[in-house]
Each structure stands twice: as structure tokens, then as C-alpha cells.
Amino acid sequence: MSRYDLSDNEKFKVMIRVYEDIFISSDHFAKKIGVGRATVFNWKKKDKASFNTRSKIKICQGFDLLDSVWSDSFGLEADFEEHLSQYKKIAPLKTINEKAIVEGLKKEKEKSMKIKNLSNNESKRLLENRLEKESASFMFSFAEYLKSNKQIEEALKVLEWIEERENTFKYTHENQIRHFRAILLSHDSIQNWDEAIHILRSLYHSRHYHLEEPEILTLLASNYKRKALNSSNKNEIELTFLTSALCLYQDAYNLKPDNNKYYDAINLAYLYNILDTIESDYAEEKKEIQVIYNELSRVWRIDFTSWWEVISDAEFLMLLGDVKMAILKVTNFLELHKVKPFEIDATFRQLELYINFTNDKNAIEFQNYLQECWKNIK
């Protein structure tokens, strides 16, 4: 007689057995992951207990497991138990010297030829017939230059040229090359999310590159978010992708320095609200976003000259229902600073995606305000 894949409930019970020292008791685990004691008791005792996306995320955080623990299939509890240790996250090493890493990157950039002042004709000539005359280090900097000019396909071609060469640079900078390739594949003009996810997952799982560059977790989360929300129909959303995005944004938030946490935090807030419209009563879950915002506010020294930081702060207030304060924050910024077209475009895309799934009246009001502002400052 054939057996179905293990259910979420069966997997949870195996986790309890294997990580008994973490679970300890229903009371302890409930407090650890921030849910009701009765909820954990039901998960533990019922044979067919249900787990929504939010529950799976909290359990991942509680046991410090990767999100793929839910999506991978196992036919027997013994098989799952044997492989469970493979889903444990790698803790950041205290010996990692972030300052040394930053200094090393600065020195590497100093070694590369400065190409910021390249003319369009010089750039074109390089792409046509001079690649073989330049060093791999120069070409990598050239690829970054092309990306900054939104020449994404050309930047990908330069990376391919670097990867085809058998040289020291390729092997000593393999992680950085693959990271940059994933950035390019994730670009709006390419949208090759699957290949980008494959590269980033490899960097995450096998190389633990995220401990050096936690930004890959943000990029990976962003790709999963796009895959999850690509459908205009909320009933067709792939919740496993949404689970992955939420877990990865949380991991990135935990790894990044305090002043760099805001981007992952606001994405968590948006996704939690979208998730609530899909799986639960939207109006009841703002307390979780309030917790995120309160925690962030304790460590975040907002740069009031940065559009990204000011708009993220305003978006938090909007999501929490304080649209007037959100508008005031943006108004104060616009009175003193200019916003660039790509910055406002990215903000509009985020709001439009969110409104499409939630029809949040606060977001619609905030979006209308931004649109009027943009008409006046164009």
C-alpha cells in the first residue's frame, strides 16, 4: 500500500521529537514563537492539525530551520528525521570581521580602473572588440558600470565573457560573480527569477555566502515575492513562495546592521498584510506589524535625506493606519529634497502591488497623495 507524503502536522511532530531541547513544552514554545498556548497544544495533539503560512514561518523561526523544510517531500517519518539536520540554518560566525570585509572590497575597487567617465562611444567600442584586451577585474567593474546605466543584457554578456576565461579572478571571485549575475537576472527588464533563485539558493546553502553578504537573502526573498505575487488573482498565489520570501526577509533583517534593517522590515510588513487578506482576517493582525516597527524604531537612526528611508518609515505608518503622519513625513522630505524618477517609480510599483491584493483604503489614499505630489514636482 502506497503512502502519501508526510503532512505538515506529521513533520511538526518529528521536529518536536528531534528538537525536544528547543521545544521543551507547549507553553515554552508558544511563548518563544509568539502564539497562543492552545494553538501549539492543538498542533501537537491533533492528527490533522492545519498550518497556515504564518504558522509555518513561526515554526521555522522557533526551530531555526530553513523554509524548504515544508515544501520538500518525504514518504516516511524516518526519512524526514534523517534529513532534518540539513535544514538547520548556519549561525553567523562571531569571528567574521565585517570591517575587514568592507576594507577588502574597497581595496578591490581601488585596484580596478575607474570607468565612471566612459563615454557612450567608448563603452560601445569596448563591447564590440576590446574585451579581450582588458583584465577580468576591469571587466567586472565595467559590468557594474553597464548595470548603473540600465544596460542589463550587455552587463550579462560581460559576465559571461569573464566566466568563460580560465583565470585567477574567476576562481577567487566566483561568489561575487554569481551574486552579480543573480542581481542582473532579477532585474525588471529580464525577470529570470528561476535562474536567479537557483544561483542564490546555491550561494546560501552550499557556500553560506549570506554570512558575508546578507543582501543575497533580501534579493532571494524579492525573487520569491515576485514569483508568489506574479498572478493578479490572489487565489492563485503559490504560498510556498510567500513562505520562503517571509522567512528570508526575516533572516536578512536579523543579519544586517541596525541601520540597514529597514528595507527587509517594510517588506515583511507588506507581505504580512497581503498574507492576511489571503489566509485570515486582515483587520486583526496589525499588532504584528506594530511589533516589527517598534523593534526597528529602537535601533534605526533614520537618514532624513534618504528617500528610501523616509518612504519606508512613512509606509510603516500607512500600514498601521496613520496616513496623516505618513503624508506629513513625505511632505517634510519633499520640501527640502528632490526625489528621482526611479525612486518614485519603485514606490508606486510597491503600492500598486499591495493595493491589488488588499484594496487597502489607507494605501489608496497614500498613493493618491504621492501621485499628486509627483505631478507637481516633475
Q: What is the pLDDT of residues 42-94, one digit of tens each?
A: 899 888 888 888 899 999 999 999 999 999 999 899 999 999 999 998 766 54
* pLDDT for the residue numbered 115: 66
- φ and ψ at 198, to 5 degrees? -60, -45
Per-residue confidence band for 235, with pLDDT thresholds at 50, 70 and 90? low
* pLDDT for the residue numbered 113: 46
What proportion of the chain, given as a percentage, has pLDDT over 70? 87
Inform me whether the pLDDT recorded for 282 exceeds 70.
Answer: no
* pLDDT for the residue numbered 1: 34
* pLDDT for the residue numbered 231: 65
Per-residue confidence band for 27, with pLDDT thresholds at 50, 70 and 90? very high
The DSSP letter of residue 232 is S
Flag the least confident range among 108-117, 164-173, 214-223, 336-345. 108-117
Q: Crossing angle of helices 262-279/286-299, nearest 10°?
A: 180
What proportion of the chain, given as a percentage, has pLDDT over 90? 56
Q: Crossing angle of helices 361-377/341-358, nearest 10°?
A: 160
Q: Taking all residues of the chain, what is their mean pLDDT, rounded to a whole number? A: 86
Each residue of 177-208: b (16+ CB within 10 Å) or e? bbbbbbbbbbbeeeebbeebbebbbebbeeee
Flag the least confident range among 10-24, 93-107, 149-163. 93-107
* pLDDT for the residue numbered 268: 95
- At 341-355, the pLDDT tens digits run 889 999 999 999 999
SS3 content of the chain, % helix, strand, coil (to 5): 75, 0, 25
Quick check: helix, strand or coil at residue 65? Answer: strand
Q: What is the mean pLDDT of residues 264-287?
A: 80
Q: Which triple of cell numbers denotes residue 24?
A: 521543551
Inform me whether the pLDDT recorded for 112 exceeds 50.
Answer: no
Who contacts 303 (Cβ-Cβ below 8 Å, separation ≥6)?
A: 259, 309
Selected residue with higher pLDDT from 279 and 117:
279
Inform me whether the pLDDT recorded for 98 exceeds 80.
Answer: no
* pLDDT for the residue numbered 134: 73
Cα 6 to chain centroid, rounded? 28
Inform me whether the pLDDT recorded for 305 exceeds 90.
Answer: yes
Inform me whether the pLDDT recorded for 102 exceeds 60.
Answer: no
Who contacts 90 (Cβ-Cβ below 8 Å, separation ≥6)?
A: 208, 211
Longest dimension (CA), the chain: 71
The DSSP letter of residue 7 is P
- Output the CA–CA distances (angstroms, integers) from residue 325 to 201, 285, 310, 318, 330, in the order listed: 39, 21, 12, 8, 9
* pLDDT for the residue numbered 162: 85
Flag the least confident range among 69-78, 94-103, 172-181, 217-226. 94-103
* pLDDT for the residue numbered 207: 72
Inform me whether the pLDDT recorded for 106 exceeds 80.
Answer: no
* pLDDT for the residue numbered 124: 77
